[in-house]
């Protein structure tokens, strides 16, 4: 089974999480600008919250690549506790793609809030979350 990791990151926080997840599941973390060339059973998809929602590049990735996605696992960071999960889940549902019930969210830096987040512990937690999701979803 194939696993892919895609992310959108303006300031590098979500990219750090994506790289930790990629290392944990054996997949290179790539920007959502990189389309899926083959079907992936699981796509870990990351975004921060921008103005209360994911960047349009994230939902566009889902719409453009939906036929090549078995299931999406959402992860991200945000200054607040808000997650992009509902919007990504809705975009996926519009394309007939399922999303995992669990998602990973941690604090993210914004201006002077949550400085140095996500940190090493957040990345380790994201990697552990990804490993558990792989087991739950039965991906080898």
Residue 30: which CATH number? 3.40.50.360
> How high is the pLDDT of residue 86?
87
Question: What was the pLDDT predicted at 112?
Answer: 73
| Beta-carbon contacts of residue 130 (< 8 Å; ≥ 6 apart) | 20, 21, 24, 25, 44, 73, 75, 104
Per the CB < 8 A criterion, the answer to whether 3 and 27 are in contact is yes
| Residue-level pLDDT at 134 | 92
pLDDT along the chain (140 residues), means of 10: 92 92 97 95 89 84 95 87 84 94 81 79 96 84
The predicted structure's pLDDT at residue 49: 73
What's the pTM value of the predicted model, to 2 decimals?
0.91
The total number of residues shown for the chain amounts to 140
Query: Count of domains in the chain?
Result: 1
- Asked whether the beta carbons of 66 and 95 are under 8 A apart, the reply is yes
Structural domain including 126 reads 3-137
């Amino acid at each position: 089974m194939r696993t892919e990791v895609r992310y959108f990151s303006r300031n590098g926080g979500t990219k750090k999480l994506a790289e930790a997840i990629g290392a944990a599941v054996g997949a290179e973390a790539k920007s959502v600008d990189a389309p899926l060339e083959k079907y992936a059973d699981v796509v870990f998809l990351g975004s921060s919250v921008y103005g209360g929602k994911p960047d349009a590049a994230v939902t566009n990735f889902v719409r453009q690549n939906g036929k090549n996605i078995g299931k999406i696992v959402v992860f991200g960071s945000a200054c607040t506790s808000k997650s992009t999960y509902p919007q990504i889940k809705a975009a996926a549902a519009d394309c007939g793609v399922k999303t995992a019930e669990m998602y990973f969210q941690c604090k993210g830096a914004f201006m002077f809030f949550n400085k140095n987040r996500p940190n090493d512990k957040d990345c380790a937690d994201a990697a552990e979350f990804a490993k558990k999701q792989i087991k739950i979803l039965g991906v080898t």
